[in-house]
Structure 1
Amino acid sequence: MSTPIFPITALLPQVLNELEARTRLVLEAPPGAGKTTQVPLALLDAPWLQGRKIIMLEPRRVAARSAAQFMARQRGEEVGGTVGYRIRFENKVSARTRVEVVTEGILTRMLQDDPMLEGVGAVLFDEFHERHLAADLGLALALDVQAQLREDLRIVVMSATLDGERLAQFLDAPRLSSEGRSYPVAISHFPARRDEALEAQARRAVEQALATHPGDVLVFLPGQREIARTQAALEQVLPADIQVLPLHGELPVEQQSRVLQPDPHGQRRVVLATNVAESSVTLPGVRV
């Protein structure tokens, strides 16, 4: 896989320079800028890392798998080689793994089991704007380890929407900001009907979107029950050449991977997702 160019690419030399001189960094980058997959790989050859691991906290399981798979493909490897992930009930790491993407409970347990974080050179907190309690606890524990035991440990907090200046002041850390990719967006409000069920309104909205716009359609729904009902409603009315795909954290890995990649045959898709797709993963081909 050739190395893609992301908005974050131009900022990576500054990231390396700051972490050469300092042990903390706040990095602001909009969704789609590439911070999740490009920053860990850029740090692999940093002199201060000395061959040690990079641990990256990813709040959501779907995003953790997706990030690890993308980085591994970028290096022409399988997941579990240089890049791996650990989430609840699933472990894709090996003795060769140097970038380990983990979810919040895993990071907290690692910090409790090994306060020295031996063999770890950097801890990255991705999507910190989501502000889960476990992420705040993980950062507090990592800062304590850095202050008391590991002055050389690098801590990077990455966020898409959080107030980076305020966070940088709190951490006494430099702050870098990356540009994102901006596209024109038109907002329209689809009219509801009195006493209409959610899946019926979603079906009408999707049918209109497919008829009036190109590309794939992304639909946000509250949870798995609503996704299942809307999927059943859409499959009754949409032609067979339009795929209806669910996306949530409980799906098998193979189904999640299918949603996160463009359709190999160019078929249009309707993706029914929980809020995992709001900021944690980027879906290709979505126009509506």
Structure 2
Amino acid sequence: MDTEKYILLGKTQDELKQWLKAQSLPAFMSSQLMDWIYVKRVRSFDEMTNISLKHRAFLKEHASLGLADPVACAVSKDGTKKYLFATASGIGIEAVYIPDRDRATLCVSSQVGCKMHCAFCMTGRMGYKASLAAHEILNQVLSIEDSTSLTNLVFMGMGEPCDNIEAVLAAIRLLTDEKAFAWSPKRITLSSIGLLPGLKRVLEETSVHIAISLHSPDALQRKEWIPAQKAYPISDILQTLKAYDFSHQRRLSFEYIMFDGMNDSLA
């Protein structure tokens, strides 16, 4: 993928219009590009047959679809597939495909590594390397072999989504855009340890489900496992959540890993 070219994946129709206008290309091409990229899901400009050869040649020279195939895929006995994607940082990211009867969920990454350093998380031990752009998040959806069978998507992979809020929101907007993926927000869940600035934006600007990484109701214990508890106490997170309406099919859940003898008692 040529990073010097304008990357089309991850752009809204308005953003595509602005770029096309700057290139002296017709604005109506924006709707064609949206259809080819997000609906028909082509992987080359040559497949865009309702765009003139002249304009396709221009796109090849000055733009990139922003798509990249996974470099590896590990398959478990239960059908779960772990896809590995290369990144500019030189460190790969993972997307996990989870089949379950009539459902198929994709767990996507939002960062390379993570700043949060949660004690129970392998990604946190890597340290933070980079945040993914919107097209790198959406590429995980479009470039797995099971893409068309997906019913649900969860932001629960590598990284803290609310620490990369602009790219994550841009990806969610396109996932729920009728001119792009046209998914219902009820098919999407965002998991967060509760970084309030980003979490508030997700609550205000989207209707996706929310999952809070809790793991302990005890503030001191939670701070040992999740250092961000110091800046964003669970009490503040709960107070924020109470201000939003979860009565109209929007789901709020709490994630809890039980550790023997540590957070598994009623006391």
Bigger relative contact order, structure 1 or 2, given CA contacts below 8 A and separation 6+?
1
Same fold (TM over 0.5): no
Q: Which of the pair is proportionally richer in helix?
A: 1
Length-normalised TM-score, structure 1: 0.28
Length-normalised TM-score, structure 2: 0.30
